[in-house]
């Protein structure tokens, strides 16, 4: 058996053709774990060959909208595509704003849910089962089933608190998903010896000239991971494969993608390096 990592979305709030909102799918045998659910995640899951009803659990990194706008779609697809075989989606999230969002997210849809139940005789409601955990800098185990477990630790995406990274361990090895964060020691430690590190990437040097015209870009730059700092992090962590996602600014051609890779290589990283597109798949 092997473990597969599929990037379900490489995008950010700003729209870019072909780039769904942030998300990563990890598969090992019958276990399918989704991390975040940005726009069009349900469609990408379908394209990746894992329907929403096949998910074992879904994990939230933080409460920014770009990581959550596709979540209700995943929940409804899972519910409507299974009818009387519906199993509520387990969702794991750090306690706080993310779990508050999860408690309220189906409220605007109650009339729709009621009319569908009445009309189609759904025996269940679509409500997911939410498990909240207290996020901390030291990793905590947040999920385990059979020989697969998931750990979480806090990262640095302030003022968005808490924001967490996840580490998935299977008998094949480990994959770490940074979520949104600056390049930080917590992710470096969590990713120690991992087969795959999926890290967000922000080309600060490329954005810098625009900051004078658009000062708000400075605040965005301050809470994302500069590509120049990801290379040293991945090198210290000793990860075999580094996958860049949540790409800012979104590359629209191979030359721009290569720019992300060049920044990371300049930081000394010499492992396998992938600048992800939607549905990029890595196996270990
Ligand atoms: Zn984001
Ligand atoms: Zn964010």
Distance 67 CA to ligand 1 centre (A): 6
Q: What is the pLDDT of residues 209-224, one digit of tens each?
A: 888 899 988 999 999 9
* DSSP class of 281: E
Q: Which residues contact 174 (CB under 8 A, 6 or more apart)?
A: 167, 168, 193, 194, 195, 196
149-175 b/e with 16+ CB inside 10 Å = b?
Answer: ebbbbbbbbeebebbbbbbbbbebebb
CATH number of this structure's domain 3-283: 3.60.15.10
Q: What is the pLDDT of residues 31-54, one digit of tens each?
A: 999 999 999 999 999 999 999 999
pLDDT at residue 230 tops 90: yes
Residues, CB-to-ion distance under 5 Å, ligand 1: 64, 66, 180
Distance 86 CA to ligand 1 centre (A): 30
Distance 246 CA to ligand 1 centre (A): 7
pTM attached to this predicted model: 0.98
Distance 39 CA to ligand 1 centre (A): 11
**For tokens 């994990």, what's the residue?**
59
Please name which ligand lies nearest the alpha carbon of 246.
1
pLDDT at residue 226 tops 90: yes
Q: What is the pLDDT of residues 232-280, one digit of tens each?
A: 999 999 999 999 999 999 999 999 999 999 999 999 999 999 999 999 9
Q: Which residues are catalytic?
A: 66
Torsion angle of C-alpha atoms 131, 104, 156, 234, degrees rounded to 10? 60
Q: What is the pLDDT of residues 80-130, one digit of tens each?
A: 999 999 999 999 999 999 999 999 999 999 999 999 999 999 999 999 999
**Nearest C-alpha neighbor of 22 from the set 230, 268, 244, 281:** 244
**For tokens 């920044």, what's the residue?**
263
Please name which ligand lies nearest the alpha carbon of 157.
2
Q: Taking the domains of the chain in order of start, what are their residue ranges?
A: 3-283
Yes or no: say if 125 and 113 are a contact pair by the CB < 8 Å rule.
Answer: yes
CA distances from residue 284 to 146, 167, 241 in whole angstroms, order as listed = 18, 14, 10
Please name which ligand lies nearest the alpha carbon of 38.
1
Q: Which residues contact 168 (CB under 8 A, 6 or more apart)?
A: 3, 26, 33, 148, 149, 150, 174, 175, 176, 177
pLDDT at residue 196 tops 90: yes
How much is the CA Rg of the chain, to the nearest whole Å?
Answer: 18
């Amino acid at each position: 058996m092997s473990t597969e990592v599929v990037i379900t979305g490489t995008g950010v709030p700003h729209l870019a053709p072909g780039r769904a909102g942030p998300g990563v799918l990890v598969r090992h045998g019958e276990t399918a774990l989704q991390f975040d659910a940005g726009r069009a995640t349900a469609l990408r899951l379908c394209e990746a060959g894992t329907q929403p009803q096949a998910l074992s659990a879904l994990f939230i990194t933080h409460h920014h909208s770009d990581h959550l706008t596709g979540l209700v779609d995943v929940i409804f697809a899972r519910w409507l595509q299974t009818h009387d075989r519906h199993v509520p989606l387990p969702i794991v999230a750090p306690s706080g704003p993310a779990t508050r969002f999860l408690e309220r997210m189906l409220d605007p849809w109650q009339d729709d849910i009621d009319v569908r139940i009445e009309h189609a005789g759904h025996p269940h409601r679509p409500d997911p089962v939410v498990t909240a955990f207290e996020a901390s800098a030291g990793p905590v185990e947040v999920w385990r089933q059979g020989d697969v477990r998931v750990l979480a630790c806090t990262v640095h995406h302030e003022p968005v608190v808490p924001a967490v990274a996840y580490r998935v361990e299977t008998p094949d090895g480990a994959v770490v998903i940074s979520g949104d964060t600056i390049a930080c020691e917590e992710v470096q430690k969590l990713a120690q010896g991992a087969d795959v590190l999926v890290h967000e990437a922000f080309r600060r040097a490329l954005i810098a000239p625009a900051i004078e015209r658009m000062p708000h870009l400075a605040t965005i730059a301050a809470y994302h991971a500069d590509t120049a700092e990801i290379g040293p992090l991945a090198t210290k962590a000793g990860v075999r494969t580094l996958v860049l996602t949540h790409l800012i600014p979104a590359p629209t051609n191979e030359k721009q993608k290569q720019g992300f890779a060049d920044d990371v290589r300049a930081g000394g990283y010499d492992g396998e390096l992938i600048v992800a597109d939607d549905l990029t798949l890595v196996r270990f």
